[in-house]
Structure 1
Amino acid sequence: MPFPPTPRLRPAAISAAAAALVLSLTACTPASVPAAGAPSSAGAATGLPSAHIHGLSVNGETGQVLLATHEGLFDVSKQPAVKIGPSNDLMGFTAAMDQGVFYASGHPGKGSTLPSPLGLVKTSDGGRTWEQLSRQGESDFHALTATKSGIVAFDGTLRTSPDGKTWKTATADFAPAALAGNPYSDTVLATTPDGVQRSADGGATWALDKAAPVIQFAAFASATAAVGVEPGGTVHYSADGGATWTRKGQISGAVQAVAATDGSDGNPWIWAATSTGLVVSTDGGATFRPSDAA
């Protein structure tokens, strides 16, 4: 059974978190976009940018919350949200280990001279500028994550790369809805309608966990702590990198993206961009409340 349609996501936390990136094989409709550094035209009901949300990244050290959208990257820690960098459609988005370093994929924005699709692009300054790494004009990675060994990405084929420039085809016979990894680990989770596929070698090989819940969104709070969200919003937690799961609470509203970071008391903090706004859990997913970031 396919996952229900939802506005698409992916990002990751700069330190010890990865965002879930939801797969979409359809194009977005162009829209007018604000200039970089300008306040966004946020949705009146949610306080979030009105563009389709493809990714969510939370920096556990600084508290910065980023949304990767059809209209580019937005800092929703600011009130109102502030656009960062060019207006490219960031279908795939994930954070690397170093501060301010992100990888992305998707389509060039209006007026851009970049090839379409973008292939893999990289920023080292928090999204203000981007460099082209590989597969320009070839790949639109809708699912994308960073691991200790490199990059795992899906453009219709599941691929791995140690440097973002050279690629190998992974041994996989599934199409992931989301990829979740962490720059401090080689464990990767791929969500599918049949269950969670898990890799312990940076995405090279995979095994289906038939005992795991069927989750649509996944994120790592650390090298071993992971969270997953079912299509209906039920939240699950794993302390062992997705090997086993414990059911937690419930997220209201249609989830578009999730991210997680380490909590000081051992419980991960979990963020979710939903149809009703940005929510956060500070008790490991048991309860959620509106986030102050949006």
Structure 2
Amino acid sequence: MTPRNVSLSKTTRFSIAGAALVLPLLLAGCTSATTPTPQTTLASTTQHVHGIYVDQMSSKVLLASHDGLYAAAGKTLVKVSTDTIDLMGFTPTADPRVFYGSGHPGPGSALPNPVGLIRSTDAGKTWVTLSRQGKSDFHALSATDHGLVAFDGKLRTSADGITWETSSASFSPAVLAGNPATSVVLATTQQGLQRSTNSGSTWNAVPTAPLMQFVAFAPSPEKAPTDAVGIAPDGSVHVSTDAGLTWTAAGRVKGEVQAVTALAQASGKPAIWVATADGVQSSSDGGATFGPVTP
């Protein structure tokens, strides 16, 4: 379910110019990552968030940032990754200890630039290279039940993270949202929402969907996800119960949204976490209301 440089400048987000909604320049140049401290304030690091993940079992919140992977602990962040990597692309898998990422190496890292596709098997502490080193900076990256879907200027799919196929799709996604339990993938674009039912091999537009910048599935431990959450450029929240085919308006997020994730709940309304420039907010009522994440 995503979606990512120093302050997520206007070239890397939707913006509002008059009444027009403009897609970001997804592959704008990224600056070198700064040297982080093991623990830093939430507000300072959430100005650089490219992805957010919440573990289904522990509810631990992880932020993929310009300076690496961090765990949110109240108003502070604790660095998880030993290397400083600008994680422009980040996605979890069905295994809570296995993540995939992409982006640029930071100070002290021996990884190539760009890093291509990298993988962690220890919940983000260390990373190894898999493919496309020096070639790809995947700004959009997501896992499905058949592998990975990614965008580095071209939309690509891979069953094993090593061999890649280039899609014939012509759109440029801001965010790719899949889930390891399903073949459905959603992509936000300037022209509107795109949807794939075969792990990114082919795509169809969803003309009735609102124009959204961020989208994420809300997985459940019991079944493949059908709930999804989307956020428009103006912060309005939309919820789907049929894997992105139809959408219902909910509430609104205050602040500059940078990443979103969600989990299914017994209530039928997804729990939602949103990283903004001011911190992490969450909703337990399907996006109707949001409040700051607290310990």
Counterpart residue type for residue 62 of structure 2:
L
Q: Identify the residue that residue 259 of structure 2 maps to in structure 1.
A: 257
Measured after TM superposition, the shift of residue 275 of structure 1 is 2.3
Give the % identical residues.
51
Whole-Å separation in 2 of the counterparts to 1:184 and 1:173: 26
Residues 89 and 23 from structure 1, CA distance in 2 versus in 1: closer, same or farther, beyond 3 angstroms?
farther
Counterpart residue type for residue 249 of structure 2:
R
Q: Which has the higher contact order (CA 8 A, sep 6+)?
A: 1
Measured after TM superposition, the shift of residue 55 of structure 1 is 0.7
Measured after TM superposition, the shift of residue 7 of structure 1 is 6.2
Among candidates 40, 49, 54, match of residue 50 of structure 2: 54
Counterpart residue type for residue 290 of structure 1:
P
* 1:207 is the counterpart of 2:204: yes
Q: Which moved more, 1:173-182 or 1:110-119?
A: 110-119
CA contact (8 A) 1:180 1:219 kept: yes
Residue-pair matches, total: 271
Among candidates 250, 266, 269, match of residue 267 of structure 1: 269
> What's the Cα RMSD here?
1.8
Among candidates 150, 158, 161, match of residue 161 of structure 1: 158
Q: Which moved more, 1:147-156 or 1:50-59?
A: 50-59
Written as runs of structure 1 = structure 2, the 5 A alignment for 1:58-207 is: 58-77=54-73, 80-85=76-81, 86-207=83-204
Among candidates 20, 28, 31, match of residue 29 of structure 1: 31
SS at match of 1:49: helix
Whole-Å separation in 2 of the counterparts to 1:95 and 1:260: 13
Residues 173 and 24 from structure 1, CA distance in 2 versus in 1: closer, same or farther, beyond 3 angstroms?
closer
Among candidates 239, 242, 254, match of residue 237 of structure 1: 239
Whole-Å separation in 2 of the counterparts to 1:209 and 1:199: 10
Counterpart residue type for residue 216 of structure 2:
A
Q: Identify the residue that residue 3 of structure 2 maps to in structure 1.
A: none
* Deviation sequence 1:65-122 (CA, Å, 0-9, x none): 0111111110013652101121111000000111211000001111222111101000
Write out the 4+ residue segments of structure 1 that deviate beyond 6 Å after TM superposition.
none
Whole-Å separation in 2 of the counterparts to 1:281 and 1:73: 23
CA contact (8 A) 1:60 1:262 kept: no
Whole-Å separation in 2 of the counterparts to 1:130 and 1:275: 26
SS at match of 1:122: strand
TM-score w.r.t. structure 1 length?
Answer: 0.88
Counterpart residue type for residue 132 of structure 2:
R
Counterpart residue type for residue 228 of structure 1:
G
CA contact (8 A) 2:176 2:185 kept: yes
* Deviation sequence 1:228-255 (CA, Å, 0-9, x none): 0000000000011001111110001110
* Deviation sequence 1:167-201 (CA, Å, 0-9, x none): 11123010001100011000000001111000000
* 1:278 is the counterpart of 2:280: yes
Whole-Å separation in 2 of the counterparts to 1:91 and 1:33: 16
SS at match of 2:73: coil
TM-score w.r.t. structure 2 length?
Answer: 0.87
Counterpart residue type for residue 156 of structure 2:
R
CA contact (8 A) 2:12 2:28 kept: no
Whole-Å separation in 2 of the counterparts to 1:277 and 1:34: 18
Whole-Å separation in 2 of the counterparts to 1:118 and 1:277: 27
